[in-house]
Amino acid sequence: MTDQPLTGHDGPYPAPVVVPDRVVQPEWIDYNGHMNVGYYGIAFDNALDVLLSEHLGVGVEHVEAAGQGPYVVQSHMHFLAEMLEGQRFSVRFRLLDHDAKRLHFFAEMVDDASGELCATQEVMVVNVDLGTRRSAPYPDWAQRRFARMKADHAGLPPAPQIGAPLGIRRK
C-alpha cells in the first residue's frame, strides 16, 4: 500500500474528464471496413488507463508501487456509429459511483471532427491485491479523490445508455 499518491491530482475534476488525441489504428479495421468490435474495448481501456493514472493516481504507477491494480469485472458497450481507419476521437468519462473497492464509470467515445457520439461503455472496476488475487480497498487518499470526482460529476445530465438492459425488445 502506498501512503501517498505518485500521480494524479486531488481535483477539481473536469465534468466530464476528457481523454483526447485517440486515433483508430489500421490494425483495428475488420473485413467490414470499420473498427472491429473488440478494438472498441481496447480503445476504452487505453483511455481508462490515462484517467486512472493522470487524474486519480491509481493507474500503472500505483500498481507497480502498491502491488494492487484495477480489474474490469463488468462492461456494457453500445455501438452507435461506425469508426473508420484514421478517425480521431476522444473519450469522455464520468464517475457514477464508488465504494472502498469499486469504481463505476460511464464513458463516451466521440468523433473529434463532427462531435458525433460513436460508442459508450459502462464499466465496473475493482481494486485487486496482486499478491492474493483478491479484492482490496483502495488507500484513503484514493477514496477521497473518488468522492471528489463523483461530486464534480454529479451535475452531468444522465445518458440513456446508463443501466440499459440487454435484450430483444418486443411490443
pLDDT in tens, 131-157: 999 999 999 999 999 999 999 999 999
From 45, 110, 36, 38, select the one nearest 80 (Cα to Cα). Answer: 110
Q: In the structure grid, which three cell numbers stand for residue 118, read together?
A: 460513436
Phi, psi torsion values for 31, nearest 5 degrees:
-70, -10
Q: Name the superfamily (CATH) of residues 17-153.
A: Hotdog Thioesterase (3.10.129.10)
Between CA 152 and CA 15 the distance in angstroms is: 6
Would you say 101 and 154 are in contact if contact means Cβ atoms under 8 Å apart? no
Residue with cell 480503445: 43
pLDDT digit string (tens) for 80-126?
A: 999 999 999 999 999 999 999 999 999 999 999 999 999 999 999 99
pLDDT digit string (tens) for 14-39?
A: 999 999 999 999 999 999 999 999 99
pLDDT of residue 5: 87
pTM for this prediction: 0.94
